[in-house]
A and B are shown apart, each in its own frame.
Chain A
Amino acid sequence: MTGSERIPLPVILRQAQASPLRAPARRDSVQPRGFDLLRLPGWRRFVRWRYARLVFQLPLLLLALWAIFDGLTGSQLAPRNVATTSVWLHYRGLIVIVLAVFGNAFCAACPLMLTRGLSTRLARLLPRRLSWPAKLRNKTLVLGLLVIYLLSYELFDLWASPWLTAWLIIGYFGAALLVDTLFPDGTFCRHVCPLGQFNFAYATASPTQITAADPEVCHRCEHKPCLHGRESYANPPPGQGRAAFIPLSEVANANGQGYFPGCETKLFVPTIMSNMDCTYCFNCVRACPYDNVALTVRPPGWEWAHSPWARRGRLGLMFLAVGLAFWGLLHAVAMIGPYYDAAQWLAAVLHTDSEALILGLLFAAVSLGGLGLTTAAAWLADRLGGLRGSPLAALLRWGYVTLPLGFGLWGAHSLFHFLTGVPSTLPVVQHFFWYWGFEVEPNWRVARLVPTAWLFPIGALFVSLYTALAVYLTMRIALRDFGRQGVLAMWPILILVLLFAALSIWILAQPMEMRGTVLGPTL
């Protein structure tokens, strides 16, 4: 790649201004066109700064190290340990809040990516980096990993074990290091990380998205640095670089010299129509020599009505969306009495005391039942609309409805624990120092600051808001694809939405019950 092949920036900008293709007829013009947050004073300059991401990663790295230390060596009473409280209360709650009001900021600040320097060095010891198998370039593997992760969470009571939580964090760092050493950068995020898939799926609910400020500039851009990266110096460096060379003099709002990596999850800015797979790393913002990347405000869940996954034939993504919604249901049910009654009834019927078997069966029943129910409702909706396509095609049309449903329930559940856990931050920190011999007295009364009477209304409100979005989305899809016939077609999905919402609110209204095991006492 050499500079001689490039079209200079002024030419591109002139061509873009003169182009007749600025009307919203092009496929990629479906990107939202709201306010660009990077136009806020100081934001663009900060985000284009080479170390912007590090500013957010370092505090989370320090927190992760603290959690590992306290988890391995500290008190094993979960509500009093930094590992269990930070991971299972604060982190999960904050993820949902930030996804709802901003975007995938936790992938942006993910400290696991700080292993990247080490993985790059280790990769040099290899004859060559492997390429990720083509058959796994989808969500199949990560769906399996997500199932294992959620099952392990229940089976090993990760939320109640600081020691296992610490090992989970260590395992995450190790897996990120291993995968990104053996395979190209970004493989871990896109194809392996279960937590990342949760963030990706529900970032579709977020009110922001990466877009091209002016799509014409992108169309005429030859090297696509937002995707492949760029190298910028005052003069061309000798030899082959890691990416296209673009002289500093031609970089709009130059943000330093050196190598600027492109998108690690291989998203091309002007074609991004979904937050799926976008880690908000802002590499694209830094790498774009034309400073043409925007962080656009859009209505929450804007993309659901634009079926971005269906165009890419991504059935695996739809399975992820449906699975997450119904696993959210199981995850919430597992905290109320009827779940334990059902598990014990099942154990008695099967004459087993294997918790793994019971959990596996419940998980399989909910997964297959949820997928079957959603597919059946979608197929019936298509039939009522006059279409005789396959059930899977129907699922690809209507399955987006499970995203607001799932996000509503996961959000309400995580908010519950976040609100009950946030006030305990101070006494947990005090307890850490007390445990290590400091003269500090933890004040657990502080942990009671949030009135319990608030918890159900807040959770129910969260579920209701996203149920309303699911209802709206159902009507949009019905009227978009079936016209007047859509008034009839929407009903099977509306019934599914309302049943899911009613079940969610019923679960939230139940008195909670939390045991270490589903089948027998452990105390």
Chain B
Amino acid sequence: MLCRAICLLALVLTLAACRPPPDGAGAAARLPPGVTVEIALEGEPRVATVPVLVTITRDGVPLAGATVTVTGDMTHAGMIPVVAAATEFTPGRYRADAFAFDMAGDWFITAEVRLPTGERAVAVKTVRVERAAP
């Protein structure tokens, strides 16, 4: 019984000592070595259609030929995500024209990238979306 109590106490202390995993965009990113994925909005973050630009480089060189899907989620669970495919318009630069914020509040945008080599890269950007312009 004493052994069990000590184990239980150790477990509780271990859990109590642990910190939350890093929050937000940085923690969710998964990038192969040398690859950068930048997400930018082509316009003010408002409830409206706001194209999303994704710039991909490998060792500083624009990376062409990737398949890019952009997903927008609210920071809380329970809202239908916005999903849009991005097409390449210049080498290494991709745009999701149909991306539309359908709600004001805190969002995170995920760019999920399949590189020509078959590798996957994921980048995340958080953004506060304001109400639609009156």
Q: Which residues of A contact B (CB under 8 A)?
A: 72-81, 84-85, 88-89, 121, 125, 157, 159-161, 163-164, 170, 337, 416-417, 420-421, 424, 441, 444-445, 447-448, 450, 452, 511-516, 521-523
Contact = CB atoms under 8 A, between A and B. Distances in A.
Given A170-B15, A444-B71, A522-B106, A76 B24 contact: yes
A241 B102 CA distance: 64
A77 B112 CA distance: 15
Contact of B81 (A84, A448, A521): A448
Nearest to A74: B21
A511 B47 contact: yes
- Determine which residue in A416, A450, A514, A515 has the highest number of CB atoms from chain B within 10 A of its CB, and name it: A514
A448 B102 CA distance: 13
B56 interface: no
A76 B22 contact: yes
Nearest to B105: A514
A78 B126 contact: no
Q: Which 7 A-B pairs have the closest CB atoms?
A: A417-B78, A163-B20, A514-B105, A513-B104, A160-B76, A84-B77, A79-B73
A121 B73 CA distance: 46
Nearest to A174: B12
B104 A337 contact: yes
Interface in B16-71: 18, 20-24, 27-28, 47, 69, 71
Contacts of A417: 77-78
Interface in B79-119: 79-81, 83, 102-106, 108, 112
A88 B78 contact: yes
B34 to A, nearest CB: 20
B22 A512 contact: no
A475 to B, nearest CB: 36
B123 interface: no
The A interface, classified by DSSP as helix, strand, loop or mixed, is: helix
B74 interface: yes
A437 to B, nearest CB: 10
Nearest to A511: B103
A514 B79 contact: yes
A77 to B, nearest CB: 5
Contacts of A75: 21, 27-28
A77 B73 contact: yes
B21 A163 contact: yes
A416 B120 CA distance: 33
A159 B71 contact: no
A170 B8 CA distance: 13
Contacts of B128: 515, 521, 523
B18 A523 contact: no
Contacts of A163: 20-21
B127 interface: yes
A76 B21 contact: yes
A424 B108 CA distance: 16
Contacts of B76: 78-79, 84, 88, 157, 159-160, 514, 516
B78 A515 contact: no
23 contacts: A72-B18, A75-B21, A75-B27, A76-B28, A79-B78, A79-B79, A88-B76, A89-B77, A159-B78, A163-B20, A420-B78, A441-B112, A445-B83, A447-B83, A452-B80, A511-B104, A512-B103, A513-B105, A514-B106, A515-B105, A521-B128, A523-B106, A523-B128
